[in-house]
């Protein structure tokens, strides 16, 4: 896991204020090596983004610097201790942002109202992945795009997959609900998007090195 990771909804064990405050502080410290590894992919994904953009689980704002300046950015971040970090980062970048409390399974946005939804290192920790993807489809405009970079399960039968499954209870406890062996790409393919295009790649992060990055498009 990296400190950039953000969970859109904490597990019950992680629900106390002190945990959320510490988790926000840890995320605010950043992970320069991780950003160096995925920065070009983020730049390529977010370069042509426009209009109303909604990011689920933006954490302390590691993605804000990659967005064009003329978008209307909405962040759905359930941890209130993240908000001050988000606003500080936005102010530094000259961005106007709209930060809202909410969860990925109950997004505070109207039907068919969003041009693009963004998620990075969040889908591993949502309690109900299928419900989250349906919410994303609900708020996207017809033809709208879901852009994602997520760590995912290693191939079945590999030693790394066995380790991921074994350490999942610990990851969920200390990683704000993280499921390191989640086959997120399968859920994306079955969610009902018109198209889902992604690539697998390796990131310099122990245990959660397998990643996917791509775009899913809602039907017109």
165-175 confidence digits (pLDDT tens): 999 999 888 87
Which domains occur in the chain, in start order? 12-217 (3.40.50.150)
At a CB cut-off of 8 Å and minimum separation 6, what does 130 contact?
A: 187, 191
22-46 confidence digits (pLDDT tens): 877 777 787 788 888 899 999 999 9
197-211 confidence digits (pLDDT tens): 999 999 988 889 999
| Torsion 16-20-21-22 (CA) sign | positive
Q: Concatenated DSSP letters for 57-102?
A: S-TT-TTGGGS-TTSEEEEE---HHHHHHHHHHHHHHT--EEEE--
**Residue 7, pLDDT score:** 41
| Torsion 65-200-27-97 (CA) sign | positive
Task: Kindly report the number of other CB atoms within 10 A of residue 100's CB atom.
Answer: 14
Tell me the backbone φ, ψ of residue 5, rounded to 5 degrees.
Answer: -60, 140
Alpha-carbon distance of 172 to 51, in angstroms, equals 35
Tell me the backbone φ, ψ of residue 51, rounded to 5 degrees.
Answer: 70, -140
pTM of the entire structure?
Answer: 0.89
Closest CA to 120 of 160, 75, 90: 75
125-157 confidence digits (pLDDT tens): 999 999 999 999 999 999 999 999 999 999 999
Alpha-carbon distance of 151 to 63, in angstroms, equals 16
DSSP state of 153: P
Using alpha carbons, list the distances in angstroms from residue 134 to 13, 141, 184.
Answer: 26, 13, 14
């Amino acid at each position: 896991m990296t400190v950039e990771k953000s969970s859109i909804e904490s597990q019950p064990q992680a629900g106390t204020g002190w945990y959320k405050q510490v988790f926000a502080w840890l995320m605010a410290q950043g992970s320069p090596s991780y950003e160096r590894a995925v920065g070009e992919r983020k730049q390529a994904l977010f370069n042509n983004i426009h209009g109303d953009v909604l990011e689920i689980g933006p954490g302390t704002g590691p993605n804000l610097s990659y967005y064009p300046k003329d978008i209307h950015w909405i962040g759905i971040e359930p941890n209130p201790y993240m908000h001050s970090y988000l606003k500080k980062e936005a102010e530094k970048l000259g961005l106007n942002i709209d930060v809202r409390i909410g969860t990925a399974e109950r997004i505070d946005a109207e039907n068919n109202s969003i041009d693009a939804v963004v998620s990075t290192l969040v889908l591993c920790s949502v309690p109900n992945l299928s419900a989250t993807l349906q919410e994303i489809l609900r708020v996207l405009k017809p033809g709208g795009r879901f852009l994602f970079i997520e760590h995912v399960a290693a191939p079945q039968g590999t030693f790394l997959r066995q380790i991921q499954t074994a350490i999942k209870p610990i990851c969920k406890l200390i990683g704000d609900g993280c499921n390191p062996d989640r086959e997120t790409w399968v859920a994306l393919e079955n969610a009902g998007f018109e198209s889902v295009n992604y690539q697998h790649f390796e990131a310099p992060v122990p245990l959660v090195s397998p990643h996917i990055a791509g775009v899913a498009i809602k039907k017109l």
